[in-house]
Structure 1
């Protein structure tokens, strides 16, 4: 967290807030020469600095001295946003006791709940939800708290949000669903939870499904979870199959998982290429040919 200080005394106040030096902070505030709402040219306040760094007593002192809890800096961030971002649940609770709002947004649409979900701070998420945070809020690009939690593989937060009514298939503006994002990031446990709560196993982005992306990247734990829910193994909107993706990815374990699920080695992609046409790996070619032999026999 960066900030520009305007005066030597304000500088000392920011330093005290950042370091958690309560005695110095009290001395400066009680002198009457440093305002509780002193801020830098970006609008960063001492309360934001103390909240970001998790200094409970400094936060309380600033509030008692009249600091504006809901003041927004240039980016739109508040003290609650920063405390939530850093996972300081005790500070978050304190801010709520004195009237912090969950509705204030940053320029990109971020809120305390979106940022806490993004970083996987489950205790903070719990406090926010109990204090009225909206589980359906979205960033400017359409990402929900659930999407952000799925992206980071934060399973506990995913469960909390789903239990609070988050929509499991709510996609970002570009069509990316939470399951697709969790799959491509390799978060197998997150994928499992989302599937069990009704995520669309075949939801696609630009024609590729979660299985396709996981197969391409060799995320075998994800592939295994997805295969339990019988996803499409045939030709996708992108003109290819998950088996083609696995072969291109070069992970033989992924290829074997798909073959065990009866992926078709004889199904060509949009360029009339079979999976075997896309690799020079002798190991992968052997298992593909063996599958053909077994099928024909």
Structure 2
């Protein structure tokens, strides 16, 4: 950065004029290829931009830096709305892409500059233009976890289910960033939660893998396929067990009991227009009315049930192999079956309560079914 570039960078018009009048070379650039125009546009210094365009000769309006970005790109990337308007008024090319295939729309969306993004949309830039990796501006906004930009682009008509070259949807990027707000906006706009990327992973897989419990709950309530497998034949439950994410494993187990161990038609009772605020919760049950029953379950698991009997009970109640495997991977040790049994019984109790069944009757029948009428 020489003195001339620095004066443009910081918006010191008078210094710039003195240097130019003293013979400074105006066609200079730094090691990144930034020119006077880039420096002034990035800082949003409109008076400097006006001086460069009106008083200096042979200034290339659309000259690219070493990333392939023009002054128009730089203004969009840094949220400089006035500079953007000036450059448009000067006749710059809106459609130029940088070396990664990004338009100004991608850069503004990825950085979360809502006002600039709105202006670019108003200019008529193509919302579905892809960069080199196949990302649209909506992908960029989702990746940057900018819910306001996501809402703006959705309102302008961006495709919510556009896929990149690696088959990543906008919801995949929202899941990678752990953003509930972005994910909720995309779901409400009709985004599919069951799209598989190039590794076979759904957004739910990614939310589990990166340990975002609130996002997992959101995807469950949005009717994500809990049994979907990736290219390693792993379901979200397998991933939770593999990484020992206990809260998420329990959440998936409870959702499995509610959605598959009872009746999948229960899904139709849920309001799909709003994936938030559901009655399904994953908090531990501390209600006074269940205290005695919970005490009985603990006694059963820790003192009464023999090794392996909790699995027989689980199978009687419809738990799958994946459910049982996930529970078993949470504890190890010679007497870990007691913890396994207690965890299974609490999950079962939650499912019974959600279904509105009589837990005492169901427990009695379950114990009889495994040949423990004495305990029943």
Which residue of the other structure, out of 36, 40, 44, is the alignment partner of 1:12?
A: 36
Seen in structure 2, the aligned counterparts of structure 1 residues 247 and 82 have a Cα distance that, compared at 3 Å, is same
Q: Tell me how far 1:247 sits from its aligned partner.
A: 4.2
Residues 161-187 of structure 1 deviation map (CA, whole Å, 9 limit, x = unaligned): 111111111111221011111011111
**Corresponding residue for 1:168?**
193
What pairs with 1:1-297 in structure 2 (closer than 5 Å)? Answer: 7-8=27-28, 11-31=35-55, 32-205=57-230, 206-230=232-256, 234-235=320-321, 241-247=325-331, 259-261=342-344
Residues 17-73 of structure 1 deviation map (CA, whole Å, 9 limit, x = unaligned): 222222212211223532332212442111111111111111111111112222111
- Is the partner of 2:160 in helix, strand or coil? coil
Q: Is the CA contact (8 Å cut-off) linking 2:41 and 2:49 kept in structure 1?
A: yes
How many residue pairs were aligned?
255
Q: Which runs of 5+ in 2 are unaligned?
A: 6-25, 261-318, 347-371
Q: 1:259 & 1:208 partners in 2: Cα distance? A: 25
Q: Tell me how far 1:149 sits from its aligned partner.
A: 0.5
Residues 171-216 of structure 1 deviation map (CA, whole Å, 9 limit, x = unaligned): 1122101111101111111111111111011212212221221233
The structure that has the greater radius of gyration is 2
Q: Tell me how far 1:258 sits from its aligned partner.
A: 8.2
Q: Is the CA contact (8 Å cut-off) linking 1:76 and 1:104 kept in structure 2?
A: no
- Is the partner of 1:261 in helix, strand or coil? helix
Q: 1:171 & 1:224 partners in 2: Cα distance? A: 24
Seen in structure 2, the aligned counterparts of structure 1 residues 247 and 69 have a Cα distance that, compared at 3 Å, is farther
Q: 1:247 & 1:184 partners in 2: Cα distance? A: 20
Q: 2:76 & 2:133 partners in 1: Cα distance? A: 21
Residues 65-99 of structure 1 deviation map (CA, whole Å, 9 limit, x = unaligned): 11222211121101110000000011000111111
Residues 130-181 of structure 1 deviation map (CA, whole Å, 9 limit, x = unaligned): 1121111111110000111012111111111111111111111221011111
> Which structure is higher in helix share?
2
**Corresponding residue for 1:287?**
none
Please, what is the CA RMSD of the aligned residues? 2.9
Seen in structure 2, the aligned counterparts of structure 1 residues 181 and 40 have a Cα distance that, compared at 3 Å, is same
Q: Is the CA contact (8 Å cut-off) linking 2:327 and 2:343 kept in structure 1?
A: no
Q: 1:133 & 1:161 partners in 2: Cα distance? A: 11
Q: Is the CA contact (8 Å cut-off) linking 2:327 and 2:344 kept in structure 1?
A: no
Tell me the TM-score normalised to structure 1 length.
0.77
Q: 2:190 & 2:73 partners in 1: Cα distance? A: 30
Residues 226-270 of structure 1 deviation map (CA, whole Å, 9 limit, x = unaligned): 12212696445xxx932354348x9xxxx958851359xxxxxxx
- Is the partner of 1:68 in helix, strand or coil? coil
Q: Is the CA contact (8 Å cut-off) linking 1:51 and 1:59 kept in structure 2?
A: yes
Seen in structure 2, the aligned counterparts of structure 1 residues 257 and 124 have a Cα distance that, compared at 3 Å, is farther
